Chains A and B, each alone.
Chain A
Amino acid sequence: MTLNQYLPILLMTVAAIGTAVGMIVLTSVIGPKKHFDEKMEPFECGVSPVADPQARFSVRFYIIAMLFILFDIEAVFLFPWAAVFKDLGMFGFVEMMLFIVVLVVGLAYVWLKGALEWE
């Protein structure tokens, strides 16, 4: 007779959300509220902002995000395999090494294409 194993996590999440909401509410209620135009400007070393932050930024960050999706999904395949590795023996080892070789070929490709270069 045991409890659902995710029940304590639910309890913990509720406590964490309560704490976080409490802190946000407290800080927006307590404390002075003095608004004037110059003060509300976003900080840019003491001068009025000269560039719009919602502008474009380097495409490399998007490439990293794409590579992350590819490689992280491949990494997830390794977890169940690792847990039962002892039962699979040689067969499982060779199979997974073939998979990893495919993964390495992909890594070598993006590496040679220069997707990992930052200059």
Chain B
Amino acid sequence: MGNVIMADLARIPELLPSIIEMVAKVVFIFTMNMGVFAPLLGWVERKQSALMQDRIGANRADILGITAFGLLHTLTDAIKLLTKEDFIPRGADKPLHYLAPFIAVVPALIAFAVIPFGGQYVLWGHKTNLVIADLDVGILFVFAVASISTYGSVIAGWASNNNWSLLGGIRVGAQMLSYEVAMGLTLVGVFMVYGSLRMTDIGVAQENFFHWGIFLQPLGFILFITCALAENKRTPFDIPEAEAELVAGYFTEYSGLKFAMFWMAEFLEMVTISGVLVALFFGGWQIPFVTHEGLVKFFGFLGSNFAQVAVMVVHVTVFWVKVLGWIFLLMLIRWTLPRFRYDQVMELGWKIILPLALVNIFITGAVMLMVM
């Protein structure tokens, strides 16, 4: 890979548009993650749970009497976490204690790289593809990166020298491993239907509303969202950090920004899950019954270049609206369902979802052969 990068560096002048495009896309997604989702989802969660439980929610922090619907709590939380003491208990494994939040948050930040947040457009003669890395392995990249974050939680539990942390750590290990097997199998049906692992191919194939993943793979969708919830470690699958039994599970002994990093990782994973759900099952950037050409024609009065820009803006907006809708639904699930017991979680993964995922592969294959 080193040689390839050197070869790329030698061709910088002719590659300038591609480099600008690449940097712009990385900056855009990074800003969305670090600037919008990581700080604001905490506020969204507090306000949404308050609404659901008939409370008012965060509304105290103010600057000169302006509370901005409790949005300033985002700022005060950040300042509070930054000025907290960084606590490491006696007997803890110091290097690993530092490493754990790092391993948890880095995969959460890069997992979004293969999810297309828009289609392909030709802007002033330059072909633009709105996905950071259009890999042929596609979704496998998300799986690979997401599974690294398991180490973060397990190491945090091990390194804290605390019984609650250790229990949380081994629980999270077993839970993540169990659901990773099932999650991979639930998506095989999607790849069979679209004939590709590349996420932009899957997005383009969903231009026809009735070819959306949710219609072609209804069982796969239900199984996948269950696995994704379990991988996200939020209620009803939050037994690794069950506050009623394990204090806070694997991050009991974390404070300050190191605690915030676990918390950020959880929210960013939720964004990635929503992105995958939208890209694979809900048409990605596509609008129902509106084709790419149709939209270009609609904006035709702007001239060919600006028409493409307008279509791009519409598609990107549609994608993020869908993602926000899914984040809302995932939070709705989190505040609606009670926590499962540990044996129930493990049985659901191995005895129900895994066999059903195999059945789904069989049905998908049989139906496809009949149709062909």
- A interface residue numbers (CB < 8 A to B): 1-13, 15-17, 19-21, 23-24, 26-28, 30-34, 40-45, 49, 51, 53-54, 57, 60-61, 64-65, 67-68, 71-72, 75-76, 78-79, 82-86, 89-90, 93, 96-97, 100, 103-104, 107, 111, 116-119
For B161, give the chain A residue with the smallest CB separation. A42
B184 near A15: Cβ-Cβ < 8 Å? no
CA distance in complex: A59, B133 (Å): 41
CA distance in complex: A89, B195 (Å): 12
Partner-binding segment picked from B55-63, B67-75, B329-337, B350-358: B350-358
Chain B: minimal CB distance from A30 (Å): 6
B368 near A8: Cβ-Cβ < 8 Å? no
Q: Is B303 an interface residue (CB 8 A)?
A: no
From A27, A43, A57, A90, give the contact of B89 (CB < 8 A): A43
For A111, give the chain B residue with the smallest CB separation. B351
Given A20-B106, A118-B343, the answer on whether A107 and B355 have CB atoms closer than 8 Å is: yes
Q: Is the interface of B mostly helix, strand, loop or mixed?
A: helix
Task: Classify chain B: how many residues form its interface, as a range.
Answer: 35 or more
B343 near A27: Cβ-Cβ < 8 Å? no
Q: Which 8 A-B pairs have the closest CB atoms?
A: A27-B257, A118-B343, A16-B109, A82-B191, A68-B177, A42-B162, A40-B90, A27-B256
Q: Mark B200-220, 1 if CB is under 8 A from A, else 0.
A: 000000000000000000000
Chain A: minimal CB distance from B122 (Å): 15
B195 near A15: Cβ-Cβ < 8 Å? no
Residues of A within 8 A of B151 (CB): none
Q: Which of A43, A86, A97, A104 counts the most B-chain CB atoms under 10 A from its CB?
A: A43
Chain A: minimal CB distance from B364 (Å): 9
Supply 24 A–B pairs (Cβ within 8 Å), ascending by A: A4-B4, A6-B135, A12-B26, A16-B105, A19-B109, A20-B109, A23-B105, A23-B261, A24-B258, A31-B83, A41-B89, A42-B91, A43-B162, A44-B162, A67-B181, A79-B184, A82-B188, A82-B197, A82-B361, A83-B196, A93-B366, A93-B369, A100-B361, A103-B358
